[in-house]
Amino acid sequence: MKIYTNDDVSPDSLKGERIAIIGYGSQGRAHAQNLKESGADVIVGVRAGGAGHTKATADGLATAEIKDAVKDATIIALLTPDMSHADIYKNDIEPYAPKGAALLFAHGFSVLYGRVTAREDLDVILVAPKGPGDLVRREYQRGRGVPSLFAVDRDVTGQAARKALGYARGIGGTVGGVIETSFREETETDLFGEQAVLCGGTSELILMGFETLTNAGYRPEIAYFEVLHELKLIVDLLYEGGLEKMHSFVSETCKYGDLVSGPRIINEETRERMEEVLNDIQSGDFARDWILENMAGRPRYNALMRQDLEHPIETVGRDLRSRMSWLNQKGNG
């Protein structure tokens, strides 16, 4: 498997390119700042007077309305939330993008599920850092980088891969290492990871652990520490050195409990449920459900989110975290 680094991508890959960053949220802000500091010609497309415009201006970046930002751009990075892509592309990008420009995404959802069908003269590429925007920015500032994926869905100009890899280098990705993928692979694995493990699986595991302990009569503060607070310690070990490092830093008792009890919690039934989640993603059922949910005003989403945020673990957690002054120190995390 080829992993692209700075040795594979010229620092001049973006020479002569004008990059329009559309949106100034988590990824947009990080990409724009990193690209500018890498020497790229960057303009941010945002609504005049909006929060993104205010932040981008304060950060010293050139800004314009989206349609004006894309007019002279050779790379147009659409970094707003997925559900906004269809309207923004139709109204503010498609009529104004120059012929032969590259339309770039940080996630393949809109292309894979037909939310955006790019004009036939446009390259369609993807650069997806494997981390949130804040981390992309912090690692760049430290001279490091977040590993990234890149993909080419359409290469009209013959320059699509060069532009994608140049962009990846500009945001720091080639320091962490860049791997080629496809829009389908990136989207389906990303959605699965979020739902089954990183967010959905982890949050439900935490809540069930908390409820099991408190239902058995243990104090909620103790339960919080055991099933949520200490999770970061374990995740950090896994992140830094996989299962081997995690096992080397926990006690023998912990390791034995891991080996004999872990498979009782996460078992073949769990795998079957995971396969169901993956099937929903691969078939497009999840995407259709999420699109319809947005069209309906997100009633189910809002109810489920409210239920999550009103869980007792949140009340206990807010109180305990308020006593942990180091959590609010700038640059922590």
Task: Read off the pTM.
Answer: 0.93
Read off φ and ψ for residue 76, nearest 5 degrees: -115, 110
The pLDDT score that the predictor gives to residue 332 is: 45
Shared domain for 71 and 172, answered yes or no, is yes
Shared domain for 247 and 128, answered yes or no, is no
Indicate the annotated binding residues for substrate: 251
Shared domain for 148 and 236, answered yes or no, is no
- Give the active site residue among 107, 229, 247, 311: 107
The pLDDT score that the predictor gives to residue 327 is: 85
Shared domain for 253 and 156, answered yes or no, is no
State yes or no: is 107 an active-site residue. Answer: yes
Q: How many domains does the chain have?
A: 2
**Which of residues 157, 180, 203 is at a domain's end?**
180
- Per-run averaged pLDDT (10 residues), the chain, 333 residues: 96 96 96 97 94 95 97 97 97 98 98 97 98 95 95 98 98 97 98 97 97 98 97 95 96 96 97 98 98 97 96 96 81 43
With respect to residue 160, please indicate whether it lies within any of the assigned structural domains: yes
Shared domain for 23 and 166, answered yes or no, is yes
Query: Rounded to whole angstroms, how far apart are CA atoms 333 and 329?
Result: 9
Question: 179 with 4: CB under 8 angstroms?
Answer: yes
The pLDDT score that the predictor gives to residue 331 is: 46
The pLDDT score that the predictor gives to residue 80 is: 97
Indicate the annotated binding residues for Mg(2+): 190, 194, 226, 230
The pLDDT score that the predictor gives to residue 303 is: 98
With respect to residue 332, please indicate whether it lies within any of the assigned structural domains: no
